[in-house]
Amino acid sequence: MMSTIAIIVCFTPLFFITGMMGPYMAPMAVNVPLTVTFSTLFALTVVPWISHLLLKNSAPGPEKKTMSRTWIADIYRTVLSPFLEKK
């Protein structure tokens, strides 16, 4: 949230630049804050909703489901294990 606010605050003044640089900075002054705002709103609303829809059927029921080991899980485990085992 703070990075979104910082980007909006930093890029909004570019809209008020005059002279020859004004026409070049105005699109960036409008597009960057709008893009960051919509990206943040999307990340806070749509992504959790889609994650909920995708994961609600994968919750373990009364019987315990076992995860089959895949090559991606093996690589992930190999890379992260040293970081998790040591302080």
Note the pLDDT tens digit of each residue in 30-65: 899 999 999 999 999 998 888 888 877 765 656 555
Q: With respect to residue 49, please indicate whether it lies within any of the assigned structural domains.
A: yes
pLDDT score of 41: 93
**% of the chain exceeding 70 in pLDDT:** 86
- Residue 75 pLDDT greater than 60, yes or no: yes
Annotate 13-72 with three-state secondary structure.
Answer: HHHHCCHHHHHHHHHHHHHHHHHHHHHHHHHHHHHHHHHHHHHHHHCCCCCCCCCCCCHH
- Residue 29 pLDDT greater than 70, yes or no: yes
Q: Say what the pTM is.
A: 0.57
Q: Which structural domain range is residue 25 located in? A: 1-59
Given pLDDT bands bounded at 50, 70 and 90, which one contains residue 26?
confident
Q: With respect to residue 42, please indicate whether it lies within any of the assigned structural domains.
A: yes
Q: With respect to residue 66, please indicate whether it lies within any of the assigned structural domains.
A: no
Domain tally, the chain: 1
